[in-house]
Amino acid sequence: MPKYDLIVVGAGIVGLTSAFYIKKNNPDLSILVVDKAQTYGQGNTARSAAGFRDLFTSPINFNLSHSTIGFYRHIQEEAGFNLGMQFVGYLFLLPRKNRLDEQLKSLGNKTKLRYLDGDQISRVDGLNLEPSKDIAEILGLERIDHAVLGENCGIIEPDLVCSYYYNELKSLGVEFSFSTEVTALRLEPENPLNFPGEPFLWQKKRIGSIATSRGDMISDQYLLATDVWTTALTDPLGVDSHVRPKKREIFQVSGDIAQKILHTPDFNNQSILPFTIMPHYGVYIRPAPKENSLWVGVADDIGRDFSFEEQPEAREEYYQNNLRQVLEAYWNRYDSTRLTSMWAGYYCYNTIDKAPYIYRSMNVTIADGTSGSGILKGDSIGRYVAAVYAGKKEAELYGDVSVDSSLLGVEGRSVPVEKIIL
Ligand SMILES: Cc1cc2nc3c(=O)[nH]c(=O)nc-3n(C[C@H](O)[C@H](O)[C@H](O)COP(=O)(O)OP(=O)(O)OC[C@H]3O[C@@H](n4cnc5c(N)ncnc54)[C@H](O)[C@@H]3O)c2cc1C
């Protein structure tokens, strides 16, 4: 087995973008990317709602997302590589008094927002602004009073985004080993004395090799881009991953009414319903024009445990008993839509401030905590990881934005709590 300069564990969006910028900045490095899946982009990257937005309250989340959107747009529009990016917008339907108003307004001078009053919203065919009194009381719903449309937002195809970085990596000579599961990171002393029981308390430590389903692999540096699986690899080392998993389910609904809602005009050039956030509980509808359907989801909190399964499954009863009622209250004839597919994955939460963690421990760089928005921040995360890997003080993001590269670390971290989590 050859010795590499760097082994990247995880070929999701974070592993691919990180490997890309590290290699781009250091063309001579030998890099191997390993993943237990059969190919790239098969983890949570494949299970996402695949929306993008730069509507984040914490400045670092705003920078990571805004800059990534700019780069993806450049790749699609100028470099001519289709990423399936459609600027359909993010539409927040809002009741009269709510906390989101102030938060969205504060972004008005940083990105493109359109404000819609009740009259304009009332023209949306099939949208019922005022749920019936009984239902409103039981579900705790209020009248839709106005809306805010984020115009630098929309939908994207994560498999195409991953293909872009994968092809670039292949042409730069980066190697891949799929169907390769890393089972342990082996701790060893930097200067071995060859005594049993090493490494001792007083020896400087490093990861010497990794155990995998294809045998041991060796490199000087390691990068863990393993999302919710990071904890299983770092716990035995006594290194904290700082993340916790929460299961997220997506439900695809189809039929005539779903198509009618999908083809809502007036918000964008595509005459497609924007990625729409209902006024309560963060229930969202993601337009899926490719499948002529809608995807429905929510990032619920209390009552949603932190348990973890290797292959999580969506539950129909969750949709029927939780999401469907909210949607039926606001969309006429929603009851005639059909549930045609569903799947589940995990958000890898930084439970404190909901921004990624990117930090080093020994000769390992760790990038996790994407908190439900790793694809739309993917390019910036890769650039940031490359800066941390190289020990640079600043990470240069696309669009001439530079950010302090210690900001997303563990020590001295000072990131305001993100208020807009979907
Ligand atoms: C339902 C849902 C909706 C979402 N919606 C959005 C959205 O609209 N927009 C957005 O930007 N983000 C969204 N996200 C979040 C987004 O999917 C993640 O932030 C992103 O995919 C994280 O990328 P990653 O590369 O860190 O993780 P992953 O894509 O999970 O990649 C990690 C990789 O590591 C590999 N791996 C793990 N452990 C090992 C091991 N021991 N050995 C070998 N390989 C290993 C896995 O096989 C996997 O391929 C959503 C997520 C879910 C679940």
Say if residue 229 is in the same domain as residue 357: yes
Q: Looking at residue 131, what DSSP letter applies?
A: -
Work out which ligand 1 atom sits closest to the CA atom of 248: 1
Domain that holds residue 13: 3-49+159-243+352-404
Q: Name beta bridge partners: 248.
A: 345
Which pLDDT score is estimated for 90? Answer: 98
Is 142 a domain residue? yes
391 and 259 within one domain = no
Instruction: Give dist(CA 406, CA 179) in Å, integer.
Output: 34
- Asked if residue 372 and residue 338 are part of one domain, the reply reads no
38, 113: one domain: no
Tell me the best of 34, 39, 48, 231 to mutate to test the pocket of ligand 1, counting ligand atoms within 8 Å of each CB and taking the most. Answer: 48
Atom of ligand 1 nearest to the CA of 346: 53
CA of 136 to the centre of ligand 1 (A): 36
Of 405, 400, 404, 408, nearest to 374 by C-alpha is 408
> Which residues form the pocket of ligand 1, taking CB atoms under 6 Å from any ligand atom?
9-15, 34-37, 42-45, 47-51, 181-182, 225-227, 229, 233, 248, 250, 297, 345-347, 370, 372-376
Flag whether 416 is in a domain: no
In angstroms, what is the span from residue 97 Cα to ligand 1's centroid? 35
**Spatial separation of the C-alpha atoms in residues 76 and 84, rounded to whole Å:** 8
Q: What's the confidence (pLDDT) of residue 5?
A: 98
Indicate which residue's Cα is closest to atom 20 of ligand 1: 374
pLDDT in tens, 306-353: 999 999 999 999 999 999 999 999 999 999 999 999 999 999 999 999
pLDDT of residue 200: 97
The pLDDT value recorded for residue 1 is: 75
227 C-alpha to center of ligand 1: Å?
Answer: 6
Q: Are the C-beta atoms of residues 171 and 27 closer than 8 Å to each other?
A: no
* Residues, the chain: 422
Same domain flag for 263 and 327? yes
Q: Whole-angstrom Cα distance, residue 160 to residue 317? A: 32
Judge whether 281 and 330 are in contact, CB under 8 Å: no
Spatial contact of 275 and 91, defined as CB atoms under 8 Å apart: yes
- What distances in angstroms separate CA 362 from CA 190, 200, 205, 206, 232, one per listed residue? 10, 15, 7, 5, 17
Q: What is the pLDDT of residue 2?
A: 87
Q: What distance in Å separates the CA atoms of residue 99 and residue 109, rounded to the nearest whole number? A: 18
Chosen domain end from 322, 348, 374? 348
Parts of the chain with a pLDDT under 70: none
pTM above 0.85, yes or no: yes
**What pLDDT, on the 0 to 100 scale, is given for residue 305?**
97
236 bridge partner residues: none
Does 263 share its domain with 328? yes
359 and 398 belong to one structural domain: yes
Q: Are residues 287 and 340 in the same domain?
A: yes
Residue 347 identity (one-letter amino acid)? Y
In whole angstroms, what is the distance from residue 371 CA to residue 65 CA?
Answer: 13
